[in-house]
Amino acid sequence: MAKAEYKVPPSLARSVLDYEIPITTKSFSLGIIPVKVLLFWFVVFISTAAVIMTPPVKHSPVWLKIIIVLWVIGFAAYFGQWTKTKEMKFMQLPALFGYLQKQHRRISTRRDTAPYPFMQLVGIKSVDEDGYVRYLDGSVGYFYSVVGTASALLFSGDRSQIVDRVDSFWQKVETDTQWNFITTKESQAVFSQVANVERKNQNLVYRHPELTKLMEESLDILRYDVGGKFSSIHQYLALHSPNDAALHTAQEILLSEVENSSAMYKQCRQLNGFEVNDLLRSIYGHKKK
C-alpha cells in the first residue's frame, strides 16, 4: 500500500545560509527562521547604526534620525520577507531590473523580423512532422495526449489499486527525464467527425435539397458549436529528456505502463507535429475573441 503522505527531503544543494533555526523562549516564539534572514537583519542593524553614527547624519536633528531609521526598517521589512519559494524578496530585484529594459519586454512577431527571440522565449527550436521536439539547449522530447482514471467517485478498493499502481510507476521512472503534465481547456477535436460527414456527402447517390441542407447543418454544428463554443478539459504529457537515449528509456516505461495496466493511463496517444504546434499555439499564442 502506498503512503498517504510523503515528506519532501531538503535539497542537497542548499548552503549553510538555507538552514532554519527555531527561535523560541519561555515567553514568546518567533518560529523557525532561516540563517540568511537572521544575517540579513544583522547587516541591516549594523549598517543603520553606522549611518546614524557617522557625519553628517550624526549631527542632524533627532527627528531626522528617527525618520531614517523607520525608513530603513520599513524597506528592510519588505525586501527581507521570506517567500514561499524559499528566497528573500530582494533576490528578485535583478529580474525586475532586467524586465525594465524594453528589449526584454517586447518581442517582434512581424514576418520580416528574426524568429529567434520568440523561440528563445518558448524554449523550443523545432517540431518535426512525427512530433519529435528539439529544444534550444539540445534536449529533446515528445508530447502525448493522456486520459487518467482517477476520480473522487471511486470505491476505496479501486482507489487503493490506482494509488499503488501510480506509486510503483513513479518508482520506475528515471530522474533524468522531466514528466510535465499540461492541462488545457479547449474545444473538442472534430476533424474525424467533419471528414466523416463530408465523405457521406460525397458518396450520396441521389441529391436532394433537404438532404443537402441537413448535411450543411451537421457540418456547421460540428465546426462552430462542438468544435468552437463547447470546451472541455484536455490533459497532455510532455517528455523532456537531455538526449535521445534518455527519451527512449522514458518512452519504453510509458508504453509498458499503458500496455500492462489501465489504472494510471486509460488512454495515451503520441501527438504528431501538427497537433504539437496546435497545443503550443493554444498556450503561447493569442486567443481569438
197, 61: one domain: no
253, 130: one domain: yes
* Number of domains present in the structure of the chain: 2
The cell for 181 is 503534465
- Of 43, 71, 98, the last residue of a domain is 98
Q: Could you tell me if residue 1 is inside a domain?
A: no
169, 60: one domain: no
Q: How far apart are CA 184 and CA 280, in angstroms?
A: 11
End-to-end Cα spacing for the chain: 49
Domain that holds residue 84: 16-98
Q: Could you tell me if residue 139 is inside a domain?
A: yes
Contact 47, 29 (CB under 8 A): no
213, 152: one domain: yes
23, 163: one domain: no
**pLDDT for the residue numbered 113:** 60
Q: Could you tell me if residue 9 is inside a domain?
A: no
Tell me the pLDDT tens digit for each residue of 202-258. Answer: 777 777 788 778 878 888 887 777 767 777 788 999 999 999 999 999 999 999 999
Q: How far apart are CA 156 and CA 276, in angstroms?
A: 37
Q: Could you tell me if residue 264 is inside a domain?
A: yes
Q: What value, to the nearest 5°, has the Cα angle with vertex 148 and ends 185 and 124?
A: 55
Residue 235's beta-bridge partner residues?
A: 146, 183
Q: Is the dihedral of CA 87, 88, 89, 90 positive or negative?
A: negative
Q: Could you tell me if residue 179 is inside a domain?
A: yes
213, 140: one domain: yes
29, 58: one domain: yes
Q: Could you tell me if residue 124 is inside a domain?
A: yes
66, 172: one domain: no
- Of 44, 64, 98, the last residue of a domain is 98
72, 176: one domain: no
Q: How far apart are CA 96 and CA 51, in angstroms?
A: 27
Q: Could you tell me if residue 3 is inside a domain?
A: no
- Of 98, 129, 163, the last residue of a domain is 98
Q: How far apart are CA 166 and CA 8, in angstroms?
A: 18
Is-above-0.95 flag for pTM? no
Q: Could you tell me if residue 4 is inside a domain?
A: no
pLDDT tens for the 289 residues of the chain, in order: 556 666 666 666 667 777 777 777 777 777 777 888 888 889 999 998 888 888 888 888 889 889 988 998 998 888 888 777 777 888 888 777 777 777 667 776 665 665 556 656 667 888 899 999 999 888 999 999 998 876 666 677 778 888 888 888 989 898 899 999 998 887 777 777 878 878 877 777 777 788 778 878 888 887 777 767 777 788 999 999 999 999 999 999 999 999 988 888 888 999 998 888 888 877 765 444 4
**pLDDT for the residue numbered 184:** 85
212, 131: one domain: yes
Q: How far apart are CA 82 and CA 99, in angstroms?
A: 22
150, 251: one domain: yes
84, 207: one domain: no
Task: Name, in order, each residue with C-beta under 8 angstroms of 222's C-beta and a sequence gap of 6 or more.
Answer: 190, 193, 194, 197
